[in-house]
Structure 1
Amino acid sequence: MKKYTLFNNDGQKEMDEEEYTQWFFSTIHEHIFKKIEKGFNQKRDGIEKELIGKFSSTRQKKQCNCPCKDCNEKPIYSHSISKKSVLANIACNGSVYMPSIDKDIMTPINISNASIFPGFCKQHDNDLFPKLDNVNNVDFDNDFFSQLGARTLAYEISHIKRTIRSLEMLLKKLSSEYETSTSSFLQKFSNGFYRKEVSYTEFYCSESRINKIKPTILERIENEKGGLLFLNQEFLNSDNVFVQGIVFEKMIPIAFSGLCSFQLEDHVAYILINCLPYKTQTIVSLHFSQRDAHSIQSFLSTFNLADENSSLRLIETLAVRGTRNIFFNIDYWNSLEEHIRNMFLCEFNNIEKSSINEAIDFSFLTWNWNNKESTK
């Protein structure tokens, strides 16, 4: 049987194959593990930043044809928030601010690229949403709110599918990089001690960063898939959807649209929300399923929608807790006091408080705002 000699501060020790193997892995876990982790963490940060950067700065790819029945045309890049009817009203020189995904800062974006997604072909987009892009004489009737909910739903389904693909790609890249880094280090280490090659599969540690990351990413993927399933089951059937629409005869310097969560005792409810400034008016709409109607109506009753200040608190709560598809007038944002800007960004990126029934304790919006210097 092959013998090994270990030299240390206590002298030398003879080992057989089994003893050496046990010592080898003990040494790896105890002394070398941190070096592997340090190298991986540096590469992990680069991988995550690269994917986050691509996710936030690039357009979604047009994965397939228009989803309408028997249509083989390619989808166009639709705006979930109308460019001409809404975003132009809060734009400064054609741009607005949006919160950065990976940093507590605001990033300027041209309204031509804001809130876009590959939805429907040009013909079906015009046929399905004729009222949403009407710059003049907007009639906020039932058809308007139905079209608004449908477009928001299409955006969210597209966005969730993209998020799932990005998370799966992140997990794959991180796993591959960790295996490559660890295998390389093990090879060098084992060669230095004249031991046979150690494969990556022999080395497993529950404390390693990758084995801590995996469950979190997998859980996020399952949550996203659950939300997607719920949207398809509940919101695609208009008979199951309740709509709360409010029209205010004033402007605000913000526009947002998307899906937000509402934490109930036994499950999470989902609400499609919109807050859109149309010239001299602002509309707020909430679409939610029949299953959750009572709980959400109870939440809304805590705000006095006949009172402008109370209504503004509701809009602020929805803006902070609701969706990442949100845009500010640049001049207005810059006019806010620094501590208010910091509080908004901190709360906006606080994933521990992602439900709209989590109250906020600051105010950042005002009525009677008018973007006189915007470029339409």
Structure 2
Amino acid sequence: MLQKLLSRVCDDPSIHLEMANLHRRAYFDAQNRAGDKWRNGHWTCMHPECNDRAIGSHTLQKKNSLEAIADPTSRVVVSPRFDPAVGDRVGTNLSYENASVFPGFCEKHDRELFLHLEEMTGAPDPLATVLQCCRTFCRERLAQVHAFEASKNGYDRMVRDQHEAIGRRLEALSGLPLSTISGYTETERLQYRPDNLERIRHLASAQATFLNSFDKLAGSVGDFFCDRARPPHMFIKSWALSNCLDFALSGSDDIGLPGAPVPMFYFVMPRSGVTHLVAFCHIEDEAVLTNVLEEKEVYGLRPGDNGIALFRFFEQLMIDRTNHWFLRPSAWAALSDSGRQILVSEVNIHDRSLYGAGTKLFPSPEKLEVTRNVSWRPRPL
């Protein structure tokens, strides 16, 4: 009896709209709750020897990087902002003082761990670069944990809401309580298009595997926080460009093979008259990251070389991959209507291939030169 009723339910055209609305509501409700938790939840300091409550730490430097691209009058930057109705959208009025904030460290460790970095005014020395890498890693790890929890909560609600909605339809068709319909068991979950749910489960499994791959680097970052004589197990590629670019960003990406993720982390820090750009990974994954950077023709750049390839690579990371970016308002205003629409459209798409040419949106900066290219491997700082 149950299977016949289910066939009738699935043949009703209205079921498709109802399920689509349920899925949308489950997703955006989970994202909305996650956003509120990220901003207002109780988070513990990420220093391995601290259990104090985390404050709003800046991933990217507020004074040197974010202030450099903020509007000089309004002090705001352009950045993706979550809207529970549509997902991420482009916001144009975020104060640079509130940009790039994450619940990472307590007040004491946020100040003490990164004091050397915050006091740097010129080109960052190796210690400052490693500290920024550690801060970027911590933000990305926490963001991935948070994203996985939000996805799981959304999936669980979707499964529950599907079951309840289909159950109501079965009861209406049969005139019987769901528990008394022949063929139904109390442990059964009624599903709409199980293949779609299986696809979502597969994506969640891949997300969990990627998150677990962060563990390889996490231990040495924690050791470094406790003892500066124990450098983190990172391979770091660091460049500088002769211009202050119009965007700052940070992010992480999987550059490994399916089922064998290799996380790459990166950030862009514009400053007055110069921009520092970094990509890094676990030291054991140096060859993988090197292959990516060579494919992008940026690995071997030398001081005095044209910096456009480097600019385009990090532009691709901004538009096609991460949503943790911040743009100078005048650069946003200078885009054509179609250019702004491209950026708005891409802000919710983060699965475009890292290989090949990315989305080119911004004009090439004039006279852009590489002024530094440095590789760093674990050594005393």
Give the TM-score range, shorter chain: 0.7 to 0.9
Question: Is 1:133 the counterpart of 2:152 in the alignment?
Answer: no
Deviation of residue 190 (structure 1)? 0.8
CA contact (8 A) 2:162 2:190 kept: no
Q: Which moved more, 1:166-175 or 1:259-268?
A: 259-268
Question: Is 1:275 the counterpart of 2:256 in the alignment?
Answer: no
Structure 1 residues 280 and 149, CA, compared in 2 at 3 Å: closer, same or farther? same
Alignment partner of 1:40 out of 19, 22, 28: 19
Report Cα offsets for 1:195-230 as digits up to 9, x if no partner: 954657698777x24x24432332233223222221
Q: Find the aligned partners of 2:109 and 2:248 in 1 and give their Cα distance.
A: 25
Number of the residue aligned with 1:307 = 306
Structure 1 residues 24 and 80, CA, compared in 2 at 3 Å: closer, same or farther? closer
Alignment partner of 2:288 out of 289, 295, 298: 295
Deviation of residue 322 (structure 1)? 3.8
CA contact (8 A) 1:90 1:96 kept: yes
Number of the residue aligned with 2:227 = none
Report Cα offsets for 1:71-103 as digits up to 9, x if no partner: 332111101112222112212213221235645
Report Cα offsets for 1:80-131 as digits up to 9, x if no partner: 1122221122122132212356458412323333221111111111111113
Q: What letter is aligned with 1:111?
A: Y
Structure 1 residues 132 and 44, CA, compared in 2 at 3 Å: closer, same or farther? same
Q: What letter is aligned with 1:76?
A: I
Deviation of residue 57 (structure 1)? 6.7
Number of the residue aligned with 1:14 = none
Alignment partner of 2:199 out of 210, 213, 216: 216
Secondary structure of the corresponding residue to residue 131 of structure 1: helix
Alignment partner of 1:248 out of 228, 241, 244: 241
CA contact (8 A) 2:315 2:360 kept: no
Aligned pairs for 1:334-349 (under 5 A) are 334-347=333-346, 349=348
Number of the residue aligned with 1:49 = 28
Report Cα offsets for 1:334-355 as digits up to 9, x if no partner: 21123333344445544442x4
Q: Find the aligned partners of 1:44 and 1:360 in 2 and give their Cα distance.
A: 31
Q: Which moved more, 1:231-240 or 1:270-279?
A: 231-240
Question: Is 1:230 the counterpart of 2:220 in the alignment?
Answer: no
Deviation of residue 62 (structure 1)? 4.2
Deviation of residue 242 (structure 1)? 0.6
Structure 1 residues 110 and 146, CA, compared in 2 at 3 Å: closer, same or farther? same
Question: Is 1:328 the counterpart of 2:312 in the alignment?
Answer: no
CA contact (8 A) 1:66 1:119 kept: yes
5+ long unaligned stretches in structure 2: 221-230, 368-381
Structure 1 residues 81 and 203, CA, compared in 2 at 3 Å: closer, same or farther? same
Q: Find the aligned partners of 1:57 and 1:334 in 2 and give their Cα distance.
A: 30
5+ long unaligned stretches in structure 1: 1-19, 370-376
Structure 1 residues 132 and 365, CA, compared in 2 at 3 Å: closer, same or farther? farther
CA contact (8 A) 1:261 1:356 kept: no
Secondary structure of the corresponding residue to residue 138 of structure 2: helix
Q: Find the aligned partners of 1:76 and 1:50 in 2 and give their Cα distance.
A: 25
CA contact (8 A) 1:235 1:241 kept: no
Q: What letter is aligned with 1:258?
A: G
Question: Is 1:97 the counterpart of 2:75 in the alignment?
Answer: no
Return the TM-score normalized by structure 2.
0.78
Question: Is 1:165 the counterpart of 2:149 in the alignment?
Answer: yes
Number of the residue aligned with 2:316 = 317
Return the TM-score normalized by structure 1.
0.79
Structure 1 residues 182 and 74, CA, compared in 2 at 3 Å: closer, same or farther? same
Deviation of residue 265 (structure 1)? 8.3
Number of the residue aligned with 2:362 = 364
Alignment partner of 1:120 out of 93, 105, 114: 105
Number of the residue aligned with 1:262 = 255
Number of the residue aligned with 1:11 = none
Secondary structure of the corresponding residue to residue 233 of structure 1: helix
Q: Find the aligned partners of 1:183 and 1:48 in 2 and give their Cα distance.
A: 21
Q: What letter is aligned with 2:8?
A: T
Deviation of residue 55 (structure 1)? 4.0
Share of identical aligned residues, percent? 18
Q: Find the aligned partners of 1:146 and 1:63 in 2 and give their Cα distance.
A: 28
Larger Rg: 1
Deviation of residue 284 (structure 1)? 0.3
Question: Is 1:107 the counterpart of 2:88 in the alignment?
Answer: no
Alignment partner of 1:180 out of 164, 167, 170: 164
Deviation of residue 26 (structure 1)? 4.3
Aligned pairs for 1:58-69 (under 5 A) are 59-69=38-48
Secondary structure of the corresponding residue to residue 122 of structure 2: coil
